[in-house]
Chain A
Amino acid sequence: MTPDQPQASPTALRRITAALFAVALLLWATAVWQAPLDSVQGVIQKILYVHVPCAFAAYLGFALTALGGALYLWRGEERYDRLAASSAEVGVVFCTLVLLTGPIWAKGTWGRWWSWDLRLTLTLLLYLIYVAYLLLRSFTEGSERTARFAAVYGIAGLAVVPLNYFAIKIAGGRSIHPQNLGSGSLGAGMGWPFVAGVATALAAFAYLLVRRVEVGALRSELARLEVDAAEGEAGGAVSWDT
C-alpha cells in the first residue's frame, strides 16, 4: 500500500460542488414546474425527470467504482480504493432511488408496482451486486487484501451496467419498460427539464461523492492514529477504513 499523496482542499471541492448542485437544483425545479403535461400519461410523466437522471448517477457511481478499483490495482494507492468504495456507496443511494421512483411511476401507469421485466430485474440485480460489494467491505476488516478483492469485484460488477442499459433491446420487444430516450423521443418542451434533471443528479452525485471521500479519508486518518497508538504492543499489518 502506498500512503496518501497531498490532495486538493476538500473544503474547496465541497463548496464548488455544493454551489453547482444548488444552481442546477433551482434550474431543474423551475424547468419541471413549467414542463408541459404529457398527452397520454398526464402529470405522472414528470417522474421521468427524476427517475432517469438518478439511473445515470447510479451508472456513473458504478463506473467510478470500477475505475477506482482499476487504479488501485495499478498504483496501489489507498485514495483510489477510497474513491471506489465511496462511489459504490453513492451509486447505491441513487440506484435505490431508481428502484423507488420506478415502481411509483409503474403503479400510476401500468397499474402495478413491479413486473419481472428484463430491465427491472437487471436493475434489481445491479443494486444487489453493489449492496453486496458494500457488505463485503463492511464485514471484512479493512486491509490491502480486502481492497484488492473489492477492486476486482467492482470491475466485474460493471459488466451489468451495459446489460441493464441495453436490456430493452435485448428483450426484443417483450419489455414493458419504455425505450431508452433518444434524440426527438421526448415531446416539445420536455428536453430541457430532462437535461436539467441529469445535470442536477450529476451535481448531487459529485457533491455527495466529495463528502463521502472526505469521510473516508478521516476514517483512514483515525485508523492510522489508532495503529500508531497501539504500535509496539501488536505491530503487524496496517489496516484502513474507507
Chain B
Amino acid sequence: MGYVIAAYGIVGVAIGGYALVLAWERRALLNTVRSAGK
C-alpha cells in the first residue's frame, strides 16, 4: 500500500505544485506588465 500512496502522492504534489507555480508566475507577470505599461 505504501508504494501506491507514494506514487499517487508524487503525482498529486507535482501537478498541484506546478499549477501553483504557474498561477504565481502569472500573477507576478500581470503585475509587472501593468506597472510597466503605465
CA distance A88 to B35 in the complex (A): 30
What's the dominant secondary structure at chain A's contact region?
A: helix
In the complex the two chains form, is B3's CB within 8 Å of A104's CB? yes
A215 & B25 in contact (Cβ 8 Å cutoff)? yes
**Interface readout for B14-25 with A: 1 if CB under 8 Å, 0 if not?**
110011001101
Given contacts A43-B1, A225-B37, contact A105 B22 (CB under 8 A): no
A208 and B19 within 8 A (CB): yes
Determine whether the beta carbon of A207 is less than 8 Å from that of B19. Answer: yes
Q: Is the CB of A97 within 8 A of B11?
A: yes
* A104 lies within 8 A of B7 (CB): yes
Label chain B's interface by main secondary structure: helix
Q: Is the CB of A208 within 8 A of B8?
A: no
| Chain B residues with a Cβ closer than 8 Å to the other chain, count | 22
The minimal Cβ–Cβ distance linking B10 to chain A, given in whole angstroms, is 5
A47 pairs with B7, CB closer than 8 A: yes
Give the number of residues in A that approach B within 8 Å (Cβ atoms): 30
| CB 8 Å contact bits of A182-216 with B (1 = contact, 0 = none) | 00000000000000000000001001100110110
A93 on interface, CB distance cutoff 8 Å: yes
Interface string of A160-198 (1 = CB under 8 A from B): 000000000000000000000000000000000000000
**B6 contact from A104, A211, A221, Cβ within 8 A:** A104
In this complex, what residue of B is CB-closest to A210? B22
